[in-house]
Amino acid sequence: MERLDMGKLFEHLLGVRDLSVCGASFEPQGVVVDVEPRQREARCGVCGRVCPCYDSCPPRLWRHLALGQEPLWLRHAPRRVECPQHGVRVERVPWAEHDSRFTREFEERVAWLAQRMDKSTTCRLMGINWRTVGTIIERAVEQRLDAH
């Protein structure tokens, strides 16, 4: 029988494309998975243009869908790039929108639930506050408008 490769297992469980898992640990806030984007060139977080690196940021966390009962977070230290149009910005990561600390999958789940149940039930189910639900819905609406 083939042994499970933990990195591959997490990549599969996360269901997020274009990232590599470097490690995982239990921490007070839940399961924290260290990830790296697959793409190596740095892109502006706002426009996606390939830009020269400026410096790097300390590691940050993005909330992802829970793994069973455990809250799950992606951890990565993004770089900052110097974009000719937008100046010094944090690079784009494949799992989240610019300026969001939630993964796209998490935001999509919140937006989907919020259309089908009241806001306080969505908050309780996803473990987030009222204002966060509002921010996520606004972003989801903006993206749909941008896509047309």
Residues that bind Zn ion (CB under 5 A): 44, 46-47, 83, 85-86
Nearer of residues 34 and 91 to Zn ion, judged by Cβ: 91
Asked whether 19 and 11 are in contact (CB, 8 A), the reply is yes
Nearer of residues 31 and 47 to Zn ion, judged by Cβ: 47
CA angle (91, 99, 75) in 5-degree steps? 70
CB of 53 to Zn ion, least distance (A): 14
Residue type, 92: R
State the number of CA atoms in the 13 A half-sphere of 11 facing the CB.
15
CB of 26 to Zn ion, least distance (A): 37
β-bridge mates for residue 87, sequence order:
83
Nearer of residues 91 and 107 to Zn ion, judged by Cβ: 91
Q: Which residue is nearest to Zn ion (CB)?
A: 44
DSSP state of 44: B
CB of 6 to Zn ion, least distance (A): 36
